[in-house]
Structure 1
Amino acid sequence: MSGRAGADGKPRRTLPWGELPRPQWPADSASPSGLIVIDKPAGVTSHDVVGAVRRLADTRKVGHAGTLDPMATGVLCIGVGRATKLLQYVTGTDKEYTATIRFGIETTSDDADGQITARRGVGDLPEDLCEIRQRLTQAMGELRGDIAQVPSAVSAVKVAGRRSYDLVRAGEGVELEARTVHVESFDMVSAPRQTTAEGVAVIDADVRVVCGAGTYVRALARDMGNRLGCGAHLTALRRVRVGPWRSDDAYEIPTLVKLIAGGGALPLVSIDDLCRDLFPGIEIDVTEAAALRHGQFIPGQQRTAVPVAGPAAAFCQGNVVALVSRRGGLLKPDLLLQP
């Protein structure tokens, strides 16, 4: 669906939240910084959501922590202002999804947005369901833990500098390399059910997945279908959690529109609280805080909260100053968060 033409002459897509208000901040107010958790609707891209938050926050400094496909819904963590510096750490947290896998049909994208490439069908007879459920349970077990996963061809993975999805849309063949991902849990949440679609018998299974960064749930569905020999794709996908942030914490864009139109502010997770959620914390004094701001190391021998690998958040009087990590018996500043 399209609307008025943009600056490039191409028609703008009409987004479900319509025209967005621009906030009226006092001239002397600081630009907002923090994390906001959005409940992304189906049919829009993650970049569409970033664009909406840019408008509502009145700043270009906005980014997201992990793409959700247009078909998918759920938790999309958006960084605003200085919080964009921390998005790489949000992206690295584990994710939880609910999804519906349809066995018996394959698509180009491994989800319902792709073109159908095969209608194999599966489970024509009622007695087939018991056997298939046993095979599903076995296949899920094989796809838990650290696994080698080939990303879906229609993905943002780059091949020779070009996005894989651009190559697929151009009709070019794509061969992506497998990468190691971690699947903490992969389980059915209800009994699989027989139905028909596209003129063939299919089986739908509702699943729950908890996985590490870089895991494609679409690829899990594809690999399940390959193991059963019938093909499969996702018909629904919802991200219900990113790290400590759940869908219950998420805001829909229309809710934020009403808030801003009424003169309110975006409900941002502060930089301080974001760091408390992501990292172990240590307390430093004013002198040490000044040293970190100047790029200097501070003593670290007695600070056992700082992990051997990975950063900790250094707080001074309740405010985060920097992310620090170990360098011998000292702590070095990795990322300055307070000017």
Structure 2
Amino acid sequence: MLNGILVIDKPKGMTSADVVYQLRKVLHIKKIGHAGTLDPDVTGVLPIAIGQATKLIELMHQRNKQYVGTGIFGFATDSYDISGKTLTTKQLAEPISAAKIQQQMQTFVGEIEQVPPIYSAVRVNGKHLYEYARAGIEVERPKRVVKVVSYDLLGQPKFEDNCGQERFEFAIECSKGTYVRSLVNDLGTKLGVPAVMSSLRRSASSGFELSQAVKLADIIADPSLANDLIQPIEHFFQDYQQVDLTQSQWLKVQNGAAISLEIDANQVALRYNNRVKAIYQRKSNEYRPYLMLLQNK
């Protein structure tokens, strides 16, 4: 039985749920889920939790994500990306300097309030925002607090004289729930020009990178690849303090009992037979179960 994280390089045109459906079918596995939804037009790292690793999904969501993408100054859409309806156009008389773009990017770094795009899966009164948008119903979009760790210009922006538009590439590291489309749209607002995101690729998520990713088509063509490419559960807990259990401690952990440990850590990964079997959390002078992974073999 597979237990671990299969890192998929999600192709364009598929939802994250589509990827899970295809993998469930070819791998014949019921316990499977993804960590971190990607829009259909976005490609890149999509961690797929399998077996016991499905218990990690909430923890996986808590880790930062990294993206590289491109944007365009000169027009804006209702969805904040090029798949939407154009709302505003404005030809640039001259290029915006790289220094000015980078300066405004830095104003987004830190904890910020963000309004999600109207074409998004955020729910208001039980409905997705995109449902209101498609029905032509105006609704107040809820602000949310997100964290932007970094927002940087990559290379030099490219000005196109013939259409008065400027293209730029960027890299972003951010917390869960951050809409990169909104960051591009809002960057344009700061610079006084309409802006739209033209492409986006997730380069890292939940501690996993593109170098560890496999294309979905390759797994569909040869499902046995999953056995060789799946990342063990232990990989996710590399930055945790780890303790190898004695036989007597292991007997207690199997029953969910508290144990005493001579360490100084809020949470600890407990190992037995070289496998993480549980995450325990400190409570007073002992450690108690936080997450059980007893079937991780």
58 and 118 in structure 1: CA distance in 2 versus 1, 3 angstrom threshold = same
Alpha-carbon offset, residue 329 of structure 1: 0.9
SS of 1:118's partner is strand
Superposition deviation, residue 102 in structure 1 = 0.9
SS at match of 1:338: coil
Percent of pairs identical after alignment? Answer: 31
1:155 corresponding residue in structure 2: 120
Contact kept? 1:296, 1:332, Cα under 8 Å:
yes
Residue identity opposite 1:144 in structure 2: V
Residue aligned with 1:192, SS = strand
Query: Mean Cα displacement is larger for which, 275-284 or 69-78?
Result: 275-284
Q: CA deviation at 1:150?
A: 1.6
Residue in 2 that maps onto 1:208: 171
Q: Which amino acid aligns with 1:334?
A: Y
Q: SS state of the match for residue 191, structure 1? A: strand
Describe the superposition over 1:184-209 as per-residue Cα deviations: whole angstroms up to 9, x where unpaired.
11111111112279xx5211110111
Unmatched segments (≥5 aa) in structure 2: none
- The structure-2 alpha-carbon separation of the partners of 1:133 and 1:36, relative to structure 1 and needing over 3 Å to count, comes to same
Relative to structure 1, the CA distance from residue 275 to residue 315 in structure 2 (aligned partners, 3 Å threshold; closer, same or farther) is farther
Q: Could you tell me whether the CA contact under 8 Å between 1:314 and 1:320 is conserved in 2?
A: yes
Aligned equivalents of 1:153, 1:281: Cα separation in 2: 44
The correspondence for 1:89, drawn from 59, 63, 69, is 59
Q: What residue in structure 2 maps to residue 314 of structure 1? A: 270
**CA separation of 1:217/1:264 partners in 2, compared to 1, >3 Å: closer, same or farther?**
closer
Alignment-mate amino acid for residue 303 of structure 1: I
CA shift, 1:332, in A, is 0.7
The equivalent position to 1:218 in structure 2, one of 181, 186, 204, is 181
Is the 1:89–1:278 contact (alpha carbons within 8 Å) kept by the matching residues of 2?
Answer: no
Q: 1:238 aligns with which of 174, 180, 201?
A: 201
Of residues 178-187 and 76-85 in structure 1, the stretch that sits farther from structure 2 once superposed is 178-187
Work out whether 1:270 is the aligned partner of 2:232: yes
Report the Cα distance in structure 1 between the residues aligned to 2:137 and 2:29, rounded to whole angstroms.
38
CA positional deviation for 1:153: 2.0
Give 1:250's aligned residue. 213
Q: Confirm or deny that 1:68 pairs with 2:38.
A: yes
**Which secondary structure state, in structure 1, belongs to the residue aligned with residue 23 of structure 2?**
helix
1:180 corresponding residue in structure 2: 145
Cα distance change of structure 1 residues 40 and 136 upon mapping to structure 2, 3 Å threshold: same
Correspondences of 1:277-296 after superposition (within 5 Å): 277=238, 279-296=240-257
Q: Secondary structure of 1:298's match?
A: coil
How well do the aligned residues superpose, as a CA RMSD in angstroms? 1.9
1: CA distance between counterparts of 2:120 and 2:245?
A: 43
Give the count of matched residue pairs.
294
The one-character-per-residue Cα deviations of 1:290-331 (angstroms, maximum 9, x if unpaired) are 22222221113x222x23xxx321112312221111111111
Instruction: Show structure 1 runs of 5+ residues with no match.
Output: 1-30
Q: Is 1:192–2:157 an aligned residue pair?
A: yes
The residue matched to 1:76 in structure 2 has which SS?
Answer: strand
Q: Which moved more, 1:174-183 or 1:227-236?
A: 174-183
CA contact (8 A) 1:54 1:62 kept: yes
Indicate conservation of the 8 Å contact 2:38/2:46, yes or no: yes
3-state secondary structure, aligned to 1:190: strand
Matched residues in 2 for 1:83 and 1:144: separation?
Answer: 32
Q: Could you tell me how far apart the structure 2 residues matched to 1:283 and 1:193 are?
A: 55
Q: Is the 8 A contact 2:245 2:270 kept in 1?
A: yes
Distance 2:59 2:239 in 1: 7
**Cα distance change, pair 265–239 in 1 and its aligned pair in 2 (3 A):** closer
Q: Distance in 1 between matches of 2:63 and 2:161?
A: 38
Q: For residues 197 and 190 of structure 2, what CA distance do their matches in structure 1 show?
A: 15
Residue 252 of structure 1: CA displacement? Answer: 0.3
Give 2:137's aligned amino acid: E
**1:110 aligned onto 2:62:** no
With normalisation by structure 1, the TM-score equals 0.81
Question: 1:264–1:182: structure 2 CA closer, same or farther, 3 Å change rule?
Answer: closer
TM-superposed deviation, 1:211: 1.4
Structure 1 contact 275–313 (Cα < 8 Å) conserved: no
CA shift at 1:132, angstroms?
A: 4.3
- Letter of the 2:232 partner, please give it: S
* Aligned equivalents of 2:69, 2:190: Cα separation in 1: 18
The corresponding residue for 1:337 is 293
- 2:107 is matched with which residue? 142
More relative contact order in 1 or in 2 (CA 8 Å, sep 6+)? 2
